[in-house]
Amino acid sequence: MRIGILGSGLMGAKLGTIFARAGHEVVFSYTRSQEKLEQLAREAGSKAKAGTPREAAQDADAVLLAVHWSRVRDVLKQAGDLSGKVVVTCSLPMNDANTELVVARSSSGAEELAKMLPKARIVSAFNTVPSEVLFEVYAAKDKAARPSLVYCGDDASAKEMAVGLIRDVGFDPVDAGPLKIARYTEPFALLMGQLAYEGDGGPELAYRFERFPG
C-alpha cells in the first residue's frame, strides 16, 4: 500500500517507520525541519521517502493524519484534494496546552474531520495508545498475545484497510463501530495518556480486551 504521513512527529514518525518496515511505500511529510524529514525517511529504509504533504497525499491509498488539532486545517490545505482517500486519523481534538478535549460528548475530532473532508473515508485509529509503545508492540508481534486497538469509521472498505495497518503494527483490531463512537474512544485515549504519563509504570503501555464466555 502507498501511505502518506501527514505529520511526522511522535506518532507519524513511528507509525510511518513501522508501515515502511512492514513493506508499505511511505512518504513522510509536514515537519518544521526538512533535514529531520529526510533523516526519518533514510532511517525507515528503502520503502520510505520525504515529501510535501501534497506529495504524500496525491498517490496514496491511505493517509495518516498525525498532527496537533491546531494544525489540522493547515496540513489538510497543504495536502490538497483528499476526495475518495482513506484518511486514518490518530489526532485528538486537544486544546493548545494538551490538557483537555475541545470537542467531546456531542461530537468528536473524527466527526469534525469528516465534516472538513466530506468526500474522504475517515477511520479513527491508533489514538488510544501512546507513541512510546508502538515499536515495542511491533517488536513483540510474533511473540506475545497481541494488545487490542480500537478503531471506528463509517466506510467498510476504509476500515478494512485500517485493519491491515493495525495488524501490521502488531495490534489486534477491535471494531468499535461507526465514526461517532470516536466520542467514546477519544476520551478513552486521555485515560490511556493519564496511565502512561502519570502512572508509575512508564509510557510503554497498551491494553487488551478479554471476552469471557457468558
Ligand X SMILES: NC(=O)c1ccc[n+]([C@@H]2O[C@H](COP(=O)([O-])OP(=O)(O)OC[C@H]3O[C@@H](n4cnc5c(N)ncnc54)[C@H](OP(=O)(O)O)[C@@H]3O)[C@@H](O)[C@H]2O)c1
For residue 32, state whether it binds ligand X (rule: CB under 6 A). yes
Among 3, 8, 103, 173, binds ligand X (CB under 6 A): 8
CA–CA gap between residue 57 and residue 76 (Å, rounded): 10
Tell me which residues in 113-132 interact with ligand X (CB under 6 A).
127, 130-131
Tell me which residues in 193-212 interact with ligand X (CB under 6 A).
none
Q: Which amino acid is at 191?
A: L
Select from 27-35, 79-87, 158-166, 172-180 the region that touches ligand X (CB under 6 A).
27-35
Of the chain, the end-to-end C-alpha distance in Å amounts to 40
For residue 153, state whether it binds ligand X (rule: CB under 6 A). no
Closest CA to 150 of 113, 114, 183, 118: 183
> How many beta carbons lie within 10 A of that of residue 22, not counting itself?
19
Closest CA to 1 of 182, 132, 168, 127: 168
For residue 7, state whether it binds ligand X (rule: CB under 6 A). yes
For residue 11, state whether it binds ligand X (rule: CB under 6 A). yes
Q: How many CA atoms lie within 13 A of 46 on its CB side?
A: 0
Tell me which residues in 159-198 interact with ligand X (CB under 6 A).
189
How many amino acids of this chain bind ligand X (CB under 6 A)? 24
For ligand X, the binding residues (CB under 6 A) are 7-12, 30-33, 36, 66-69, 71, 90-92, 94, 127, 130-131, 189
